[in-house]
Amino acid sequence: MKTKIVALTVLTALCMSLCSCGKVEKSTQTALLLDTIVSVTCYGEGSDEAANAAIDEIKRIEAIFSPYIETSEIYNINHNAHSAPVKSSAEVMSVLKEALRICALTDGAFDITIKPLVDLWNIKAENPSVPSPDAIAEAKSKVDWTKVELSDGTVRLGAEGMMLDLGGAAKGYAADCAVKVIRDHGIKDAILDLGGNVYAMGSSEKGTPWRIGLQDPGGQRGEYFKAEELSDLSCVTSGSYERYFESGGRIYHHIINPKTGYCADEGLISVSVIGKSSFEADMLSTAIFVMGAEKFEKIKDNFDIVKYITVDKTNNWKEY
């Protein structure tokens, strides 16, 4: 009995010392993946293994979904799925199925076959320029999500030169997968940032929900116009200030309206979507940027989002 009391006292003292100093095991891992800086911070016992496993998971997803990695499934589809259907993994099939659902519901404002236009505009080039109207019309003719055929574990692209680009979805999908891996490691509290695709798991070090700042499109990096309190939610932002070039006094950015072939121009410069699925929030932030809030309001009930916030060209924000 006496030893039990001593043991309990020691245990209580140990707990109190851990609680009073407030230190919880923590691990941050960063990597350059999916064309952005990825950072994962996990809290609690086993945080190091969990954060490393999350980074490995994002690497795994990049290796499957990047159209630029020659061994990826998407690369294989883009180069071989025109003449005959290409056998695809169950994971690629389910991601494409969900992405096509968003293409359909947004009436093609989000379009996973956008790659010919992305390649033509080549925003990431050192000296990008505005393509000719003919070149835009030609690339646009290869963009049409309705021609992606999924059947029996195969993918077929129904037009010559058609190619998939999941740049508006992969970071969100990867965030959701990494969150699952972290949970499987028994970790409840973590914060993941995949180049602006944030997932806030559980609570912050203070025991309160995470406070996530929304980047001020007109400000310096890290300057926020609004903060959101999140717990087990993702916040994804699409902004025209992220990747752009100027020509003839106009701004040309990386979010393209598939119907015009030019940059989306619905008067918005930033759209943030908050929801449980980072995958869905990622696709919708791009879609809302293209279609505008007014049109999106009419189809909003099809989605599982908590809210979204737009910033217009005059730097005014609005929450929906």
Distance of CA 169 to the CA centre of its chain: 5
Query: By rule CB under 5 A, what string of x and - marks binding of each residue 216-255 to Mg ion?
Result: ----------------------x-----------------
Q: Residue 172 Cβ, how far from Mg ion at the closest point, in Å? A: 7
Report the C-alpha gap between 200 and 192 in whole angstroms: 7
- Given a contact cutoff of 8 angstroms between Cβ atoms, the answer to whether 300 and 276 are in contact is no
Letter for the amino acid at 180? K
Among 168, 261, 275, 292, indicate the residue that binds ligand AMP (CB under 6 A): 168
Nearer to ligand AMP, 40 or 114 (CB): 114
Among 285, 292, 308, 311, indicate the residue that binds Mg ion (CB under 5 A): 285
Q: 94-113: which residues touch ligand AMP (CB under 6 A)?
A: 110-111
Residue number with the smallest Cβ distance to Mg ion? 286
Query: Phi and psi of 251, rounded to 5°?
Result: -100, 130
Nearer to ligand AMP, 95 or 118 (CB): 118
Torsion (CA) 281, 277, 299, 318 in degrees, nearest 10 = -50
Report the C-alpha gap between 128 and 306 in whole angstroms: 37
Q: What residue 78 binds from ligand AMP, Mg ion, none (CB within 5 to 8 A, per partner kind)?
A: none
Stretches 12-20, 51-59, 217-225, 254-262: which one binds ligand AMP (CB under 6 A)? 254-262
Report the C-alpha gap between 126 and 101 in whole angstroms: 35
Among 290, 293, 305, 309, indicate the residue that binds ligand AMP (CB under 6 A): 290
Q: 86: which residues sit within 8 A by CB, 6+ positions away?
A: 76, 77, 80, 154, 155, 156
Report the C-alpha gap between 70 and 211 in whole angstroms: 39
Q: What residue 256 binds from Mg ion, ligand AMP, none (CB within 5 to 8 A, per partner kind)?
A: ligand AMP
Q: Residue 184 Cβ, how far from Mg ion at the closest point, in Å? A: 26
Verify binding: residue 256, ligand AMP, rule CB under 6 A: yes
Stretches 51-59, 81-89, 90-98, 164-172: which one binds ligand AMP (CB under 6 A)? 164-172
In terms of Cα–Cα distance, which of 161, 29, 180, 190 is closest to 91? 180
Query: By rule CB under 5 A, what string of x and - marks binding of each residue 139-168 to Mg ion?
Result: -----------------------------x
Report the C-alpha gap between 170 and 73 in whole angstroms: 13
Helix (DSSP H) and strand (DSSP E) numbers for the chain: 9, 15
Interface with ligand AMP (CB under 6 A): 110-111, 114, 118, 165, 167-168, 238, 254-256, 258, 282, 285-286, 290
